[in-house]
Amino acid sequence: MSKKKVCVVTGSRAEYGLLYWLMKEIWADSQLELQLIVTGAHLAPEYGLTYQKIEDDNFFINEKLEMLLSSDTAVGMAKSLGLGIIGFADAFQRLRPDLLVLLGDRYEIMAAAQAAMLAQLPIAHISGGESTEGVIDEAIRHAITKMSHLHFVANESYRKRVIQLGEDPQRVFNYGDPALDNLKKLPFLTRKDLENQINFQLGQLNFLVTYHPVTLEIKSMEAGVRELLAALDKYTKAKVIITSSNSDMGGRAISRLLQQYANMRKGRVLFTISLGQLKYLSAMKYCQVVIGNSSSGIVEAPALKTATVNIGNRQQGRLKAASIIDCREDRREIIAAIDRALSPDFQNKLSQVQSLYGDCNASERIKEKLKEFDLRGILRKKFYDLDYEQQ
């Protein structure tokens, strides 16, 4: 019996960290053949050429698909999307996979989904049904859902939302978020090993900061970053690790501001393009507060019992654990949120926080379903109508 060829696409460091264990599961299964397409920020020097990390992890990259223009404007992103569709069309023609696995809601993934739809290639989509009201990813995510044929969601509420979009309940599976698999399977670094690997000394008080563009509020983006940095200056005894922004509109401008801030505070603040999953999560474990607007503060931080100060509207709409404090992009509100997160009462309650995104075993479940699901007739989709009389 021939192997089922499962093609996985990754376009960013964060996404690869979420897909890593699923890729390992597929690679190790004798009935499956892993194909890998790497694109987007992975291939850009300014984002750390993170495809090299994938190769260091002993994955074979079948296609390196260049699509990212040296621009983070709306026009540049639209042109990158077009280049991506062309590149994926050629890649799928060469690889001829049986099934495509896509995660999330970035425009690189949208390009892959559009090309696959026209190539009549079945799509399995991970992390559908979620909501991020402050970014264009919201529309992209739901559009990919409608182009997909299997759905793996992180929470029952998200499963219901995918079904509400007209997807067959028998094709929607709540297996949890694969991001949490790292917490169960990664050999976390000791504090000392982490310090040695990042060449930065932690202190008694430590912050991990990640801030990405709020793409539906692009005009106020730099002002929001400056409010965050002004708030951080109140904590002169805190050691701060800052990771660069992503490749969305405005990401380069954000990263420049963050790097300038760190350069003027060497020894107390570290700016890094990419920590990689192991160092990033190890840093999260040893920091008292995760600050910014990254999904890692929503998904992984609560599972690690680390407090999160979530700034602005980027993650508005996501399910949030009790360890997450929301605030506006205002220095006074950010300071108040950090002070609350650091309070003895709040810190003492962190051990009781429950994750809303599964039990750290999503990748194996997803792989098994990819393997067993009969792909015959999968491209034919009937819109699933809710029975409103029973709502």
Give the CATH number, domain containing residue 71. Answer: 3.40.50.2000
Q: Residues 149, 256: one domain?
A: no
Q: Residues 243, 315: one domain?
A: yes
Q: Residues 65, 171: one domain?
A: yes
Q: Residues 188, 173: one domain?
A: no
Q: Which helix (H) or strand (E) holds 232?
A: helix 221-232
Which pLDDT does position 216 carry in this prediction? 65
Which pLDDT does position 329 carry in this prediction? 93
Which pLDDT does position 215 carry in this prediction? 67
Which pLDDT does position 137 carry in this prediction? 83
* pLDDT category of residue 74 using cuts at 50, 70 and 90: confident
* Mean pLDDT on 382-386: 93
* pLDDT category of residue 217 using cuts at 50, 70 and 90: low
Q: Residues 342, 362: one domain?
A: no
Q: What is the pLDDT of residues 87-143, one digit of tens each?
A: 999 999 999 999 999 998 989 999 999 999 999 999 999 999 998 877 788 899 999
Instruction: Tell me the residue range of the domain where 129 lies.
Output: 4-177+358-390
Which pLDDT does position 58 carry in this prediction? 95
Which pLDDT does position 373 carry in this prediction? 95
Q: Residues 254, 170: one domain?
A: no
* pLDDT category of residue 389 using cuts at 50, 70 and 90: low
**And the tokens for 291?**
């600050």
pLDDT at 276 over 90: no
Considering the chain, what percentage of its residues have pLDDT values greater than 90? 79
Q: Residues 209, 225: one domain?
A: yes
Which pLDDT does position 45 carry in this prediction? 86
The tally of domains found in the chain comes to 2
d(C-alpha 155, C-alpha 148), whole Å = 18
235-268 as b/e: b if 16+ CB within 10 A: beebbbbbbbbbbbbbbbbbbebbbebbeebeeb
Q: Residues 156, 268: one domain?
A: no
Considering the chain, what percentage of its residues have pLDDT values greater than 70? 96
Q: Return the minimum-mean-pLDDT range out of 181-195, 217-231, 304-318, 348-362.
A: 217-231
Which pLDDT does position 218 carry in this prediction? 61
Among 113, 107, 298, smallest CA distance to 215 is for 107
Which pLDDT does position 192 carry in this prediction? 97
Which pLDDT does position 14 carry in this prediction? 82
Q: Residues 143, 76: one domain?
A: yes
What is the residue-averaged pLDDT of the chain?
93
> Model-level pTM?
0.88
Q: CB count, 10 Å around CB of 72?
A: 23
Q: Which helix (H) or strand (E) holds 366?
A: helix 362-372
d(C-alpha 257, C-alpha 255), whole Å = 5
Q: Residues 194, 256: one domain?
A: yes
Find tokens 């390196």 and name the residue: 64
Q: What is the pLDDT of residues 158-171, one digit of tens each?
A: 999 999 999 999 99
Q: Residues 11, 59: one domain?
A: yes
Q: Residues 259, 365: one domain?
A: no
